[in-house]
């Protein structure tokens, strides 16, 4: 500690790169500070530090992390507390560039496994960033001393010590996380796809603000015929709408909440913070939102179940394209999701290709079957569930044909759900018959993209992996567009996807039969050893993604 202060005094007024001399580890009363990476310019990415507080000093109970669910909730709560303390005790901008900044990475509404704050055998570690202050491009040692010896200790004292925290709020956060995991496990036991609790708040403030709609909140109530009750470890008895396996339609007029419900189910694969309104809205963890994605690349995917006998004898059992149509992209998205073990497809007609979803009777009469290469989802969706245990939740407002294949029909009326399954059955066609002459359902192949395509090095020989923004992965020479991979909720997931792909290529590409099994091995290793195995340098900006989104990124890498 004294050594750090002496170094800062000696560096005052020198060139900014002189800050690199303070790299190292320093003991303070109550915590240890380590400089992991020091920025070389005030306008560069801020300096990265790790703060450690021993359990003996912090007095946190080991009950806070006694299982994976509780540990996840604890780490998330404490990281948020660190972020709040930074806002309260750090003055902020004090010089050029990033000068004066102290922060930690968190997410607004979701509880994700991250490496920003982690629990270890004998300590808690917080990975943070510090914008070392500059006067122009010179060291501003006095301001740095205030930040590191006054503000940062204040942040630590009010966030990494048990007696400084709101213990009731922390307990609620941990228990909320544990309950959501228990609820998701209950779905599996009961053969359900999703659950929406009574009292849930589904509408969000806007398409770009995922916080609950606060003006005149709309409280969800389950229809009596679909209501199920579950007992959770902490919330106790909870009732709500259960969506069973099979084919479920969500219908209703425009602007009545169909897509809002589906959006909540998409995000139900993640845990939510207390107060989000969707804490008890959960979906099976491998559910995938499927949509059309014009222009995407497709690598050797068997889409013959949906697209067959294309003109000029194009092979749809090994389908390649760098510019997919709406129907071919949606077919590929389904088949790729099934490769990852997906058991529930979430589909909204608004983001689907019409000719992929339906082909009505008059069009079938006009265009002969042997001239139409597309088999619509309508003709396959029951087979998907009956033969392959793949459920579907489909928002449908424009085609009554889907009533013939639905197990359950939910009508959204002013954001409230009504079970209209019986009424829908009364409208089914008496002469409706299963389609015949369908292409046999293909056996899922083991696919492995070539190693050269997964190279993270740029032409200059340097590795490049970063999140360009909330929708783009910068990976080597590739810019991978993930804007239509709708279940990504955090830039840290995008960064981690890039690191996982690189790690997979380095360690598992040659000794696993396909990309899915190789990526699964990486995720298993992360679960036991942590995110830090992915990088040689220390950073607190990673967040664990799902297998489904990692494979979505791999499948969207374009050939050079």
pLDDT in tens, 392-409: 999 998 888 999 999 999
Pick from 397, 393, 463, 404: nearest CA to 431: 404
CA angle 470, 471, 473 (to 5 degrees): 100
- Are 420 and 500 members of one domain? no
Question: Stretch 518-547: mean pLDDT, rounded?
Answer: 97
pLDDT in tens, 476-511: 999 999 999 999 999 999 999 999 999 999 999 999
Question: Stretch 142-150: mean pLDDT, rounded?
Answer: 97
Distances (CA, A) of 103 to 2, 100, 147, 150, 275: 24, 10, 12, 15, 23
Pick from 501, 487, 449, 491: nearest CA to 466: 491
pLDDT score of 79 more than 60: yes
pLDDT score of 431 more than 70: no
- Are 98 and 52 members of one domain? yes
pLDDT in tens, 319-344: 999 999 999 999 999 999 999 999 99
Question: Stretch 8-17: mean pLDDT, rounded?
Answer: 95
CA atoms within 13 A on the CB side of 395: 27
165, 199, 225 - which closes a domain: 165
119, 143, 165 - which closes a domain: 165
**Among the ranges given (55-59, 266-270, 456-460, 522-526), the one the predictor scored with the smallest mean pLDDT:** 456-460
Q: Is the dihedral of CA 350, 351, 352, 354 positive or negative?
A: positive
- Are 68 and 110 members of one domain? yes
Q: How many Å apart are CA 173 and CA 169, to the nearest integer?
A: 6
Confidence of residue 238 (pLDDT cuts 50, 70, 90): very high
- Are 71 and 147 members of one domain? yes
Domain count, the chain: 3
- Are 397 and 469 members of one domain? no
Question: Stretch 353-368: mean pLDDT, rounded?
Answer: 73
pLDDT score of 158 more than 70: yes
- Are 463 and 394 members of one domain? no
Give me 308's structure tokens.
């067959």
**In 273-380, which ranges are E strands?**
281-283, 288-290, 298-301, 319-321, 344-348
Per cent of the chain over pLDDT 70 is 97
Distances (CA, A) of 451 to 477, 505, 534: 14, 7, 18
Residue 260 lies in a domain: no
Question: Stretch 299-306: mean pLDDT, rounded?
Answer: 96
Q: How many Å apart are CA 35 and CA 29, to the nearest integer?
A: 17
- Are 475 and 396 members of one domain? no
Give me 550's structure tokens.
């990692």
Numbers of helices and strands, H then E, in the chain: 15, 27
Contacts of residues 504-509 at CB distance under 8 Å and 24 or more positions apart, as own/partner, are 504/454, 505/451, 505/454, 505/455, 505/456, 509/448, 509/451, 509/454
Residue 295 lies in a domain: yes
Beta bridge partners of 392: 247, 345
Tell me, what's the pLDDT at 215?
A: 80
Tell me, what's the pLDDT at 365?
A: 56
pLDDT in tens, 28-38: 999 999 999 99
pLDDT in tens, 204-236: 998 889 999 988 889 999 999 999 999 999 999
Residue 465 lies in a domain: yes
Residue 184 lies in a domain: no
- Are 72 and 134 members of one domain? yes
Contacts for 164 with CB less than 8 Å, ≥ 6 apart: 157, 158
- Are 321 and 379 members of one domain? yes
pLDDT in tens, 443-459: 988 899 999 999 999 99
117, 144, 165 - which closes a domain: 165
Tell me, what's the pLDDT at 435?
A: 76
Tell me, what's the pLDDT at 207?
A: 85
pLDDT score of 299 more than 90: yes
Residue 119 lies in a domain: yes
pLDDT score of 134 more than 60: yes
Q: Which helix or strand (DSSP H or E) is residue 3 part of?
A: helix 2-11
pLDDT in tens, 262-292: 999 999 999 999 999 999 999 999 999 999 9
Instruction: State the chain's mean pLDDT as an integer.
Output: 94
Q: How many Å apart are CA 258 and CA 415, to the nearest integer?
A: 8
Q: How many Å apart are CA 179 and CA 342, to the nearest integer?
A: 23
Beta bridge partners of 463: 457
pLDDT score of 360 more than 80: no
Confidence of residue 361 (pLDDT cuts 50, 70, 90): low
pLDDT in tens, 311-320: 777 899 999 9
DSSP designation for 201: B
Rounded to the nearest 10 degrees, the angle between the axes of helix 326-339 and helix 547-555 is 140
Residue 269 lies in a domain: no
Q: How many Å apart are CA 112 and CA 493, to the nearest integer?
A: 9
Return the number of other C-beta atoms located less than 10 Å from residue 422's C-beta: 9
Distances (CA, A) of 89 to 77, 97, 159, 205, 264: 18, 20, 11, 29, 36
- Are 29 and 160 members of one domain? yes
Given the DSSP bridges, would you call strands 134-135 and 123-130 parallel, antiparallel or unpaired? unpaired
- Are 411 and 488 members of one domain? no
The 3-state DSSP class for residue 304 equals coil
Q: How many Å apart are CA 417 and CA 258, to the nearest integer?
A: 9
- Are 403 and 306 members of one domain? yes
Question: Stretch 163-182: mean pLDDT, rounded?
Answer: 97
Residue 19 lies in a domain: yes
Confidence of residue 177 (pLDDT cuts 50, 70, 90): very high
What is the domain range of residue 406?
288-426
Tell me, what's the pLDDT at 364?
A: 63
Residue 292 lies in a domain: yes
Confidence of residue 430 (pLDDT cuts 50, 70, 90): low
């Amino acid at each position: 500690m004294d050594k750090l202060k002496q170094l800062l005094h000696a560096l005052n007024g020198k060139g900014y790169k002189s800050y690199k001399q303070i790299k190292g580890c320093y003991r303070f009363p109550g915590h240890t500070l380590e400089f992991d990476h020091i920025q070389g310019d005030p306008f560069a990415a801020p300096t990265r530090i790790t703060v450690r507080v021993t359990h003996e000093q912090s007095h946190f109970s080991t009950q806070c992390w006694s299982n994976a669910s509780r540990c996840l909730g604890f780490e998330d709560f404490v990281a948020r507390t660190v972020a709040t303390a930074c806002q309260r005790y750090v003055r902020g901008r004090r010089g050029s560039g990033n000068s004066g900044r102290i922060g930690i990475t968190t997410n607004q509404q979701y509880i994700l496994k991250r490496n920003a704050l982690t629990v270890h055998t004998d300590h808690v570690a917080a990975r943070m960033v510090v914008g070392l202050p500059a006067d122009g491009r010179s060291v501003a040692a006095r301001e740095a001393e205030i930040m590191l010896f006054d503000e940062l200790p204040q942040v630590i004292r009010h966030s990494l010590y048990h007696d400084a925290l709101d213990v009731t709020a922390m307990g609620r956060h941990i228990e909320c996380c544990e309950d959501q995991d228990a609820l998701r496990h209950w779905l599996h036991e009961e053969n359900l796809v999703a659950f929406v609790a009574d009292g849930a708040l589904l509408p969000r403030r806007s398409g770009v603000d995922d916080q609950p709609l606060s003006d005149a909140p709309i409280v969800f109530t389950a229809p009596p015929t679909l209501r199920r009750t579950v007992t959770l470890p902490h919330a106790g008895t909870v009732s709500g709408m259960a969506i069973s396996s099979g084919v479920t339609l969500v219908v209703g007029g425009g602007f009545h909440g169909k897509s809002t419900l589906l959006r909540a189910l998409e995000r139900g694969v993640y845990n939510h913070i207390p107060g989000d309104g969707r804490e008890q809205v959960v979906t099976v963890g491998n559910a995938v939102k499927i949509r059309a994605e014009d222009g995407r690349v497709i690598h050797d995917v068997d889409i013959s179940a949906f697209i067959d006998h294309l003109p000029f004898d194009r092979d749809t059992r090994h389908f390649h394209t760098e510019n997919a149509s709406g129907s071919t992209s949606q077919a590929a998205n389904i088949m790729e999701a099934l490769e990852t073990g997906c058991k529930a497809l979430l589909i909204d007609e608004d983001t689907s290709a019409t000719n992929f979803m339906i082909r009505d009777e008059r069009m079938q009469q006009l265009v002969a079957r042997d001239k139409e290469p597309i088999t619509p989802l309508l003709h396959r969706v029951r087979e998907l569930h009956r033969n392959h245990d793949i459920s579907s939740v489909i928002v449908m407002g424009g085609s009554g044909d889907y009533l013939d294949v639905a197990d359950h029909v939910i009508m959204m009326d002013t954001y409230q759900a009504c079970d209209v399954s019986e009424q829908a059955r009364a409208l089914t066609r008496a002469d409706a018959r299963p389609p015949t002459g369908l292409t046999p359902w293909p056996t899922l192949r083991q696919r492995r993209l070539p190693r050269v395509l997964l190279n993270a090095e740029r032409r200059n020989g340097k590795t490049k992996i970063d999140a360009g923004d909330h929708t783009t992965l910068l990976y080597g020479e590739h810019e991978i567009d993930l804007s239509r991979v709708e279940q990504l909720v955090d830039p840290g997931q995008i960064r981690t996807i890039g690191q996982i792909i690189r790690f997979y290529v380095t360690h598992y590409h040659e000794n696993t039969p396909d990309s899915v099994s190789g990526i699964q091995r990486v995720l298993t290793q992360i679960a036991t050893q942590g995110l830090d195995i992915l990088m040689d340098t220390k950073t607190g900006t990673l967040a664990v993604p799902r297998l489904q989104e990692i494979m979505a990124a791999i499948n969207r890498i374009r050939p050079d």
